[in-house]
Amino acid sequence: MNSRNELFITSFALFSLFFGAGNLLLPPLLGYNAGDQWFWVAIGFMLTAVVIPIIGILAHAKLQGTLYDFGKKVSPKFSLVYCILIYIIAVAIPSPRTAAATHEIAISPVFGTSPLLTSTIYFGFVLLFVLYRSKILTLIGKFLTPFIVIMLLIVIGIGLFSSEMVTSVSQFKTPLSNGILEGYQTFDAIGAVVVGAVVIISINLRHQGSFEEKKSLIAKSGWFAGVGLFIIYAGLISVGAYYSSEISVNETLPSDMQRANLLRKISIASLGTFGNAILSVLISLACFTTAIGIITGTADYFKGLLGNSQVVYVITAIIASVFGIIVGQLDFNSIIIVGVPVLLFIYPITIVLIILNVLPKQFSTPLIFRAVVLVTFIFSIPDVVGFIRPTERFTSLFSNIPLATYNLGWVLPAMATCLVVGLYGAFTKKNV
């Protein structure tokens, strides 16, 4: 396989592994609610749904290891716990969520079958792909992803040209922070550290090039995938914004059904009655490829953790698929609600680990890793507690922390810690 074809396949596969249920359903409703402020919402959304994930892929290109390598500078025990938490979260929330979304939007309206039947068949096929993982990049990159991208561009293109290009007044007081936090729900930062390892292992199975050649391939693929995500997200957000004055969303519906209802209406408005069929296929494929990436990454990790045993790989894949069947029976909105406090806890730590791993060595010493992760963890606690048990006293207590009212109270303390500890290490030569 020549280098151009390999770059093409890897880029498309990486895009598809990122692009799941939330990536398709979140942007249109975000743009719809943002109205005339959709540009600022889009900027915020891109930060956590595109920029951070692609930096994560660049970190993988630099490390060319596993998820464990992201946190090992903090300590081996921390990295082990972090990896286990990430993979448990991945198979417990975003993976089953793909089955729930597929059932509610693509299967149930047409066939009226039970969610148990849908999730069973769905994860049966996912398991089949995972067990034949050496062909994952080729199958996804050559066939599934180009089809998804073409259909998305058709919906976006026709949707923009067929709308009146008029936006409504924004429902957001702070559109930038709303976009940032909504980007959390894509799980793309977590996806970057999980599926990036899948891509590396899949490349190693069929590519015997040097470290630098693989680094270049992974990095270029990350940039191409990032550009693709940027175009699709910007298109979906703008379509949602420009249809805000033409299409009404039933406010009494749960937020997930508002998202599906809006996307369905946009699809029908742009492609006619054929739009429903297009939408169903889009969601099913986007969800399916994401579930494959998550379960493959989880199986890879536990395989490496337990003696590089193929038996462990198979058993982990089966357990993750069975778990997906069980949780996938829940409705999409319930899975999202459960995921919010988890994201408020794990996402900030994941973001700082991604960023620290791409910084030059003098700014990413073990001392800086430990200090920044500890501070990020401490300043993330108020966001989690505030979501689970919000009280006026608790809110006022932490309101003086910069950006705390936007659930971003960890950002400035983490940046300040990185700077202060970095300077301290430079002057004292204490880098360990």
* Mean pLDDT along residues 383-406: 71
Domain residue spans of the chain? 3-344, 359-432
Q: pLDDT confidence of 281, banded at 50, 70, 90?
A: confident
d(CA 319, CA 299): 9
The C-alpha angle 72, 75, 81, rounded to 5 degrees, equals 80
CATH architecture of 3-344: Up-down Bundle (1.20)
pTM: 0.81
206-264: pLDDT as tens digits: 666 777 888 888 888 889 888 988 988 988 888 888 877 666 655 544 455 566 667 77
287 and 294 in contact (C-beta within 8 Å)?
no
Look at the chain and count its residues. Answer: 432
Other Cβ atoms closer than 10 A to 366: 14
338-375: pLDDT as tens digits: 777 888 888 899 999 999 999 888 778 899 999 999 99
Tokens of 215: 């680094």
For residue 369, the model assigns a pLDDT of: 94
Helices 3-18 and 211-242 cross at an angle (nearest 10°) of: 50
